[in-house]
Amino acid sequence: MSSPRCAVSLPTAATTTNGGGGGRRKAQPPLASQVKRLCKQGRLEHARRLLLEVLPRPPPMLLCNALLIAYVARALPEEALRLYTLLNHAARPPVRSDHYTYSSALTACARSRRLRLGRSVHAHLLRRARSLPDTTVLRNSLLNLYASCAQYRAARVDVVRRLFDAMPKRNVVSWNTLFGWYVKTGRPQEALELFVRMLEDGFRPSPVSFVNIFPATLANDPCWPFLLYGLLVKHGVEYINDLFVVSSAIDMFSELGDVQSARRVFDRAAKKNTEVWNTMITGSVQNGQFSEAIDLFSQILGSREVPLDVVTFLSALTAASQSQDISLGQQLHGYLIKGMHGTLPVIIGNALVVMYSRCGNVQTAFDLFNRLPEKDIVSWNTMVTAFVQNDFDLEGLLLVYEMQKSGFASDSVTLTAVLSAASNTGDLQIGKQAHGYLIRHGIEGEGLESYLIDIVGSLKRQS
């Protein structure tokens, strides 16, 4: 009887080294070893077929866990959950899951934001709690699930804090998850207090600890950023040169408006990847330091070690727009056309339209808009706003009709531009239509009502 067919080549007995019948034979590795090797190589579909189609039923739990962990590690949570569901509900006989299985499944649920399925895994875990070891890794996976997916309501029980308080043993990962959850749910002061408590309990913070706690400083005492960064430096070079930490520290100081401190963090880093450069350029732009942002972009442009990405060009285009540097904008446009072979992503196309319109070149912006191979609602709103801001109110209103004919519904940005155009032209009828539209569709936007007041006021002045 022939061997079962599989995507992985599985000789039935042996292979010869010289093609002859009398040559030395080299034995194939056991099937279990092949599954592990395929997981390490990233050939996960082959490993799955071998696991489910060739190995005896039920397949060994150790190999199932190896494949589950490989799916999660390679950012394929949906594949991990499909395998988990198959092994626990469809397989006959079912696989006997262990704490590694549940930990992997809970992590996959967290990464795919599947809270309902995560609760199902949690319930299954509780039913088998007595037969499983109570490990910190498993408890951290549960904590991470609810911190990633749950909604926080002040009047209800905080499920994340409840799970944390029930942990018999905690490690730094547990603490990181908890104060990260407090930052995410808008409780920065409590997050900082938890961070201090972690230190008092004798836990050494990890680089992730600082990444999670840095955003909590934005709404608190201005001394906190310097205290935290000083503590970071105290922990040594490993922390200072962690690229994720560097990027987070630059962002923290930039959000506080302290570009000089952000630049010192940037300059101190021994290595810089694209994200670090992007964070520093973006921070400079956000704080009105356009010349510094352009200088940084020029440096990275001449580097062969750091690849540029969409965020890099968006930041540079924003700097050109805000500083109204049409020469730089045109150079960036030419570089993008050459580098991307004429096909620009929608988000880059929109940024170019903004850049040309803010530099007063509305005709070029409109020509570019018309040539975009794909348009989204942001594209239409950008061009409509560009017309209105440059006193081409009628053209902006006509473009809104074209947008609606193309199947795009008006949103608050569109209606703000329409009401602004109606206010500029004193057209009360268009203002009333736009106002009625936003009421019927429940659209809310800051300053929309003021445009109607302006329209009525301008008509009264004319009369």
Per-residue tokens: 250 = 């630059």
Is CATH 1.25.40 what the domain over 170-271 is classified as, yes or no?
yes
pLDDT of residue 457: 62
pLDDT of residue 16: 40
Tell me the backbone φ, ψ of residue 25, rounded to 5 degrees.
Answer: -105, 135
Contacts with 120 (C-beta within 8 Å, 6 or more apart), sequence order:
none
pLDDT of residue 9: 36
Per-residue tokens: 421 = 């155009």
Residues 139, 140, 145, 147, Cα dihedral to 10°: 120
Helix (H, G, I), strand (E, B) or coil at 441: coil
Helix (H, G, I), strand (E, B) or coil at 167: coil
Helix (H, G, I), strand (E, B) or coil at 371: helix
Structure-token match 């706003």, residue found: 385
pTM: 0.79
pLDDT of residue 206: 95
Q: Give me the percent of the chain exceeding a pLDDT of 70.
A: 83
Q: How confident is the model over 273-328, as pLDDT tens digits? A: 999 999 999 999 999 999 999 999 988 887 778 888 899 999 999 999 998 889 88
Separation CA 198–CA 176 (nearest Å): 9
pLDDT of residue 445: 58
Identity at 1, one-letter amino acid code: M
Separation CA 448–CA 455 (nearest Å): 12
Separation CA 244–CA 184 (nearest Å): 18
Contacts with 279 (C-beta within 8 Å, 6 or more apart), sequence order:
247, 250, 251, 254
pLDDT of residue 179: 94
Sign of torsion over alpha carbons 35, 37, 40, 41: negative
Per-residue tokens: 443 = 């659209």
pLDDT along the chain (463 residues), means of 10: 40 41 48 86 88 77 89 91 82 74 93 93 87 90 94 83 94 96 93 95 95 88 90 91 94 94 92 94 94 90 82 92 89 83 82 92 92 91 92 88 89 83 73 66 61 60 54
pLDDT of residue 21: 45
Residues forming beta bridges with residue 27, ordered by sequence position: 14
Is CATH 1.25.40 what the domain over 1-13+27-154 is classified as, yes or no?
yes
